[in-house]
Structure 1
Amino acid sequence: MASTGSLDEKVAAVEGVAEVDTESKDQSFSSDYEISEKTDFILHSSEAVIDRIRAAGDMDDILVDDSQFFVEKIRLMSPVEAREVLLYAVSYHEHDVNFPTATMNRIKELLLGENVYGKGDILYDLDLRLEASLIKFHSPYPEVRAVVSPTDDTSIPVETFRAYTIGIFWVCVGAFINQLIYFRQPHFTLSAQVIMLLTVPCGQFAAKYLPAWKFKIWKWTVNLNPGPWSFKEQMFTTIITNVGSQSCVWGQYAPVVREDLFYGQAWATFGFNLLMNFSTQLFGLGLAGIMRRWAVYPSKALWPTILPTLQLNRTLLVPESKKNINGWTISKYKLFNILLAGSFVYFFIPDYLFTALSTFNWMTWIAPTNKNLAFVTGSKIGAGFNPIPSFDWSVINYATPQVLPFFTYANKYFGAVVGAIVMLIMYYTNYKFTSYIPPNTSNVYDRYGASYSLTKVLKNNKLDATLYHKYSPPYISAGNLMYTCVAYANYTFAFVYILATEWRTFRDAVLGFVKGLKNRKSSNYADYRDPISKMMQAYKEVPDWWFFIIFAISLIFACVAMRAYPTDTPVWTVIVVLLAAIALLVPFMVLYSSTGFFLNPNMLGTILGGYLVPGSGLACLFLRTFGYVIENQSETYVGDQKLGHYAKLPPRAVFRGQAIATILSVFITSGALEFAHTLENFCSYTQSARFYCAWSHSIYSETVLFGVIGPSRTFDHLYPTMRWSFLIGACIAIPMVLARPLLHKYFKGFHPVLFLGGFQVWGSNYNLSYYTGGFYLSFAFMYYLRTRYLAWWARYNYIIYSGVSAGVAFSGILIFLALQYHPKTLTWWGNSISGSTADGLGVATLKDVPAIGYFGGANGTWV
């Protein structure tokens, strides 16, 4: 390919080309570039097109499998249409960090014409049509092309009897296990990929042995065995199990209400958990219908977190051709099985035989009693500055480094590094008495350096001012304080920044929503240029009012739970918090769908709860729950709708599957919560099987600060910095929006919302130890291999991730059931050294409580 001038000059020359009138450009273009006989011959040669696909630097090997499809599309596409498609791509993806830079540069070169390619270059027309065809009929993202087919067969069975039966069985198994294991640190899950391994043989067994009987139920014909187990049935089953087997949202809060370590409310038993589960689980499904227009239909809604599921589905059920890719000829299925077996065996080492390898705080072993070394390098209460922090996949994979785009992981990691430095500065300067507390913990402390005792300040479950002044104000760690301040700032920053930078997406979605209300027969898909959305017009859509009914039902359950039990939470406050959370839902979901970073407004519910029901920790907790559930559950349901969108499943089938699985999981997870309550020392940091309930401790500390003590005392007197965080976040968003074009030019991968999100890893006993190993992995797989060996990466990356993760999950479950549920302790140096250092003991502080017996203000001086 001939070229003149530097790449920067070529990019500058085409800058603004998308704003030029398309029609006038096309007229001159069509007259200047007639197809030569030789070019026409190339277009009719499948081999030539395949060779051209292979020659293109950022096009993956998966496309070769679909070469015949693209040959036909290229033949039918005119140069005028190709140019219009590329003009739109430049405009739509100009600041899209997921869009490959090499592809964008090549598109701009194509739009410049023969002055870049060279006069008379016969391959110019072919490249122009090829690039346009990829965007119009497939996806501009190589990670999506690697796992999604550009074609669809509407005759493939989806919503079958056997798919429902298998899916419901594994919903029951997965929901119980995942709910229970959630409380463990580090926790692992029976993920969609793992459960898929179990459902595939079940489906194939059913296809082989079930009789091919047909019978009618009302207007539906049920076929017990419609033939071979299809990949669409498998994906439908995966969506059912993914929705139904998740740990319930309320499960994160239930221990805080019931356990004696926290609020100790004995009335919060199975019946109450059932009501809360119904309300919280259904909220997300009800709102998912509205979110489709922002987070499912647009092509920018990449959803990197669901791509491994799609890849594994192809691996298990779609035949693959044998190829040599960078010297590798092993099939994906064989590689998956090897990695599964290897990680299954290996995980016994860091999880049971040699636990020091898990959170590998080896630097603190040099001087076990050195507190400063523990604070800087420690894996438990320290910052975690450790170049080799773990040999445990459940720790290294904590933030899914092989799934998130590299720019997402890098932004969060470097934000976490800067956050660690800020936290240590706060700690060593004794900001707000943090030096009397371990630097990174979610616990709440009193002025005597002990855990804060609510029983000393409560009277009838409400704060008693006299008792409070006799006892102590609450104090939190430097990590927890920094986390809270940055979380508040990031709420307002993200809201302003995302609305300003993605205004076109919001505008189009709002217009589509209004159009749908006015004309119920109009197609949601028709307003989007995404090729998959165009294909989905072949199926009946789910009406918006179906989702509204689900939302109304969930609201009724929430009101009943608040009124029927002594929750101390007025129903009107629930409505207020829900409306506030919904306002943040759209921009935060847009962020998550494109980056994989989930910014949850749970703490907003905490603050509102403190103001709306002063002095009540329980009310604060319940309102925090409803603020959290809107985002968390919507993310799950919308993500699975995108999964069905990529797999071209009928939307109504996906809706029915999600609803049935959700209702079933409500009962299963409620039972799992009851079982967890019977575990000895449940939620204590001394629990033998590591059921520490780390997130529950963090929730408890927030509700003490803002519910019991109240936001007025916390913001005005204890930690006034928190109050200004909201304003600071909104203010700095404006210059960042204005600077976005410059940042994109020199630092394309920088995303300020993600960078601030890196500060939020602190305050809940997680630190750099859970991110450094993942950063190495992310750099290797999501940057180096993805840019240098794209064909290899597209074929093997998600398989490697799924195989290792599946082995760890199966191994972890076996270890828990066989060796930890009824503890069989293996005592030796390798299992005791990590917990015997100043870091591992978890109680070391920079300053000891003064001789007078307390730190902070004098008796009775606090408000």
Structure 2
Amino acid sequence: MASTQPVPARQDSAFIDDIEKKDVDTPSSNEKLGDLDTPVESMSGDDASEQIRLKEVEELEARLAAGTADDQEYLVQDAHDIAIKVLSTRDDYELPVVTFRMLFLGLGFSAFGSVLAQLYYFKPQTLTVSQGFLLIMLYFFGKGWEKALPSHGLWWYLNPGPFNIKEHGAALIMASTASASATAIQVISVQDLYYDNKLNPGVAIFTLLSSQLIGYAFAGLLVESLVYPSICFWPSAISPANMFQALHFDGGLSSKRTKIFWLTFTAIFCYEIIPQWIFPLLTGVSIFCLADNTSATMRNVFGGASNNEGMGLLAVCFDWNLIGSSCLYTPLWTQLNWNIGIGFTYILMSAVYYGNVWHGLNFPFMSQDIFDINGNEYNQTAILTDNKFDQAKYDQVGPAYFSSTNALYFITANLAMSATLVHVILFYGEQLKPFIYAMNPWNKNVTVVHDEHYIVMKRYDKVPRYWFLLLLAAAYAIAQATDYTGHSNFSWWQLTVILILSLVFTTAYCTTSAILGFSEFSTQLDGFYSMIGSYMAPGDPIANMYAALYGSQPTVQGITLLGDLKLGQYLKIPPKVNFLVQVLGCVVGALLNYVMELSIVANQRAALLSIAGTRLWSGQNAQSFNSNAIAWGALGREMFSPGKTYYMVPVALAIGAVMPIPGYLLHRKFPKNQFFANFNTGVVLQYSCYLSVGVNTQVNTASALGVLSQYWVRRRYPRWFTKYNYIIAGALDGGTQVISFILNFAVFGAAGTEVDFPNWWGNDFNLSADRCLAPPS
């Protein structure tokens, strides 16, 4: 038998090394591995080799768990190390998965999550239903079910023994798939509120389903290249997978890892009450704002603890709700690329604003509104006739402008989109070959992936490729039908072009998410597809909304679903079960999203149309989506055409496509140079105006923790890193998300009554949270 020592990594930076030989997909006639208990000597060559490698990994995992491995074996250097050292390849094959308990909990929390997400969408404070929160709640309910009901006789069908990891994982994937407010809800609600076009219920529901299931079909076509190989390790899935294994494999509360998880969970649960409610100054401590809270310049540059306040330069954040655990699990070089981009952010945002580029000094430093030349909010409805652009009215009202930092964001976002696509082709083109093969309906070759988790999963039937192709065909047909019956003004060819573009960028962004832990930003995608839509259907804001819907939603959905498919591979959930729970989650989420939208719009219409809203209800998200549709759909040609103020926004697409090429040529010339191998132009550009919106004080703390975890601790204390880094990341997020959920209902007004903590120095209502001059309202 071969040595049990793991294959050493070629570079110490390389969570994102070039694909090693063990990860290359090659044609084979073997579709499915036989019984894993079959003697190695009686297997075929490929199967025997896989079983030897799997045996080596199991022996390594046993040494790591027992603490008898040396530090070199604990050291995590690449994606393959993450997969086999942080996570176990263990598969308890006999565990039941599709049980009444799993379906009941999965559907119940799908309903809960989808209703809650839709309520959040129409609240003054926009929130999300986090996967970590659902994971913890499902664990509590599942274990409670296990203890409360007998499991003998006919009761077994209701309570088939201990609540196991596969039931837990399948229920979570179903619930998290449902627990979001779909982009289509924005289109449906905006048409009802602002265009007096209340969609037929059947049309509305099928619009919701088609926009989401197209994304799932895209994800299914990418499974072979972006889920099976170990290089596609999906960093965002590592922490929840580690939580699942600690909760179910580590021997309950008696294991050290489980004790550390619950101690960390409890500590952060109690602590987060302080920065979130009692002492908001901890969300961003800026010595410059503490010294001077009267200067707008100090606020713009050094402030950032309140929404649209400033860039937060040198500020320190002590609120894990803002920091998040991504800094603990995202690969080091991905974070270094983020940090390079954020460095450009400080320079570029200051330059365009204080250099008065695009009349920037006339407008707020940070804002997502559109303005007239005097800095007043632009009268968008005054330029429309029958919901379409009217040139004569526009000539009277005058041109519209963005804040300079918002315009810069559009430019860097377009630079990043094309740069990301080209970077993926140049650096990861080999990974996309299975995707190209999958698109060929006559392809008879089957790819063999040398990944231990995938080897274990080969005992389960795959989801046939034609299932996803049929799903795509059905969703496409439904989308075409609903576009016409829903009076979208979006023609068949426009939808087809948008979906082709969406498939291309879904492939690029899913690749970066799988390998680098870098995901798209939905606002960036909305802007890009709205820009494309403004040229396809000029002057039509309704058609523009559909361009944004069918362009961005499949990518957002594809990333989410592929990540869950990888999580299913880590947890050894049979692929067909994963398919079932994801489709169920999509359907349940769409139906309940729509039911809640109908109820809220019907009963709170006045509040949703009001600019200020009420303390309980707000149409801010729908208003923003409608404003974007008018800005891009109605004003697109007036703002972005050649010779217009923001003509550089579309030009940036062409410039961005060229920018990765010099780095790639340098990488080819100096293949051993780590910087050239790992410098990612798309990621850097994406973060080059990252601080133009929202709360920004967390970036410095997250950057420091990322380097501390992924460089210093990983290399200096590999034993501790492998055993505890990811479980602590999950505990920090889990405890924070549970207390945040409680606080939102108890004191932040989600249940109807807002309870402010008394005014004091650390919670001054007259200043920003970091005691900077408050941003203009």
TMscore range, shorter length: 0.7 to 0.9
Q: Is residue 639 from structure 1 mapped to residue 570 from structure 2 by the alignment? A: no
Give the superposition deviation at 1:54. Answer: 5.4
Match of 1:287 in 2: 218
Distance 2:300 2:553 in 1: 34
Note the alpha carbon deviations across 1:370-407, whole angstroms, 9 max, x for none. Answer: 2211221231445423433433222222x832232232
Note the alpha carbon deviations across 1:440-474, whole angstroms, 9 max, x for none. Answer: 22111112311112111111111111110111211
Match of 1:83 in 2: none
Match of 1:501 in 2: 427
Q: Is residue 604 from structure 1 mapped to residue 538 from structure 2 by the alignment? A: no
Match of 1:27 in 2: none
Q: Is residue 802 from structure 1 mapped to residue 730 from structure 2 by the alignment? A: yes
Match of 2:765 in 1: 832
Note the aligned Cα RMSD (angstroms): 3.7
Match of 1:474 in 2: 400
Local SS of the residue matching 1:657: helix
Residues 448-463 of structure 1: matches in 2 within 5 Å? 448-463=374-389
Distance 1:721 1:745 in 2: 34
Give the superposition deviation at 1:366. Answer: 3.6
C-alpha distance 745-155 of structure 1, shift in aligned 2 (>3 A): same
Paired-residue identity, %: 21
Confirm or deny: 8 A CA contact 1:171 1:241 kept in the other structure: yes
Match of 2:163 in 1: 229
Match of 1:333 in 2: 258
Distance 2:505 2:312 in 1: 34
Note the alpha carbon deviations across 1:256-281, whole angstroms, 9 max, x for none. Answer: 5555xxx5656369766534322222
Counterpart residue type for residue 417 of structure 1 = G
Distance 2:671 2:406 in 1: 30
Q: Is residue 589 from structure 1 mapped to residue 589 from structure 2 by the alignment? A: no
Match of 1:351 in 2: 276
Match of 1:396 in 2: 323
C-alpha distance 258-365 of structure 1, shift in aligned 2 (>3 A): farther
Give the superposition deviation at 1:182. Answer: 5.5
Q: Is residue 784 from structure 1 mapped to residue 712 from structure 2 by the alignment? A: yes
Distance 1:186 1:740 in 2: 46
C-alpha distance 428-675 of structure 1, shift in aligned 2 (>3 A): farther
Confirm or deny: 8 A CA contact 1:497 1:733 kept in the other structure: yes
Distance 1:698 1:534 in 2: 47
Counterpart residue type for residue 538 of structure 2 = P
Give the superposition deviation at 1:683. Answer: 9.4
Distance 2:154 2:62 in 1: 46
Match of 1:720 in 2: 647
C-alpha distance 692-419 of structure 1, shift in aligned 2 (>3 A): farther
Counterpart residue type for residue 282 of structure 2 = L
Confirm or deny: 8 A CA contact 2:328 2:725 kept in the other structure: yes
Counterpart residue type for residue 612 of structure 1 = M
Give the superposition deviation at 1:549. Answer: 2.5
Residues 161-172 of structure 1: matches in 2 within 5 Å? 161-172=100-111
Distance 1:683 1:592 in 2: 37
Match of 1:159 in 2: 98
Distance 2:456 2:591 in 1: 37
**Structure 2: gaps (5+ residues):** 1-8, 22-55
C-alpha distance 498-185 of structure 1, shift in aligned 2 (>3 A): farther
Confirm or deny: 8 A CA contact 2:280 2:770 kept in the other structure: no
Give the superposition deviation at 1:418. Answer: 0.8
Q: Is residue 757 from structure 1 mapped to residue 690 from structure 2 by the alignment? A: no
C-alpha distance 694-738 of structure 1, shift in aligned 2 (>3 A): farther
Match of 2:544 in 1: 620
Looking at both structures, which has the greater relative contact order when contacts are Cα pairs under 8 Å and sequence separation is at least 6? 2
Residues 190-269 of structure 1: matches in 2 within 5 Å? 190-208=129-147, 209-212=149-152, 223-251=157-185, 257=191, 263=194, 265=196, 267=198
Match of 1:847 in 2: none
Give the superposition deviation at 1:255. Answer: 5.7
**Structure 1: gaps (5+ residues):** 1-6, 20-42, 62-97, 101-139, 216-221, 323-328, 845-863
Distance 1:173 1:621 in 2: 28
Confirm or deny: 8 A CA contact 1:360 1:834 kept in the other structure: no
Distance 2:157 2:202 in 1: 38
Local SS of the residue matching 2:673: helix
Distance 1:809 1:47 in 2: 34
Match of 2:660 in 1: 733
Counterpart residue type for residue 583 of structure 2 = A
Match of 1:538 in 2: 459
Distance 2:60 2:397 in 1: 81
Counterpart residue type for residue 222 of structure 2 = M
C-alpha distance 670-444 of structure 1, shift in aligned 2 (>3 A): same
Note the alpha carbon deviations across 1:585-617, whole angstroms, 9 max, x for none. Answer: 222211110111113644332122101111012
My pick for the range that moved more, 373-382 or 695-704, is 695-704
C-alpha distance 802-517 of structure 1, shift in aligned 2 (>3 A): same
Distance 1:794 1:361 in 2: 34
Give the superposition deviation at 1:166. Answer: 1.3
Confirm or deny: 8 A CA contact 2:225 2:431 kept in the other structure: yes
Local SS of the residue matching 1:832: coil
Distance 1:368 1:658 in 2: 50
Confirm or deny: 8 A CA contact 1:187 1:394 kept in the other structure: no
Distance 1:351 1:48 in 2: 40
Q: Is residue 579 from structure 1 mapped to residue 500 from structure 2 by the alignment? A: yes
When normalised by structure 2's length, the TM-score is 0.83
C-alpha distance 188-229 of structure 1, shift in aligned 2 (>3 A): same
Match of 2:371 in 1: 445
Note the alpha carbon deviations across 1:734-774, whole angstroms, 9 max, x for none. Answer: 222112243861525432221112125244x2364242222
Local SS of the residue matching 1:759: coil
C-alpha distance 58-418 of structure 1, shift in aligned 2 (>3 A): farther
Match of 1:709 in 2: 635
Note the alpha carbon deviations across 1:328-364, whole angstroms, 9 max, x for none. Answer: x982322332333333333333333333433556643
Note the alpha carbon deviations across 1:223-246, whole angstroms, 9 max, x for none. Answer: 444332222222222222221223
When normalised by structure 1's length, the TM-score is 0.75
Distance 1:804 1:450 in 2: 43
Give the superposition deviation at 1:827. Answer: 4.8
Confirm or deny: 8 A CA contact 2:607 2:619 kept in the other structure: no
Confirm or deny: 8 A CA contact 2:338 2:684 kept in the other structure: yes
Higher Rg: 1
Distance 1:690 1:55 in 2: 56
Note the alpha carbon deviations across 1:169-213, whole angstroms, 9 max, x for none. Answer: 111112222343367798654433322222223333444415545
Give the superposition deviation at 1:793. Answer: 1.9
C-alpha distance 504-185 of structure 1, shift in aligned 2 (>3 A): farther
Give the superposition deviation at 1:425. Answer: 0.5
Confirm or deny: 8 A CA contact 2:132 2:737 kept in the other structure: no
Confirm or deny: 8 A CA contact 1:303 1:593 kept in the other structure: yes
Confirm or deny: 8 A CA contact 1:375 1:439 kept in the other structure: yes
Distance 1:264 1:417 in 2: 43
Counterpart residue type for residue 584 of structure 1 = F
- The number of aligned residues is 711
Match of 1:219 in 2: none
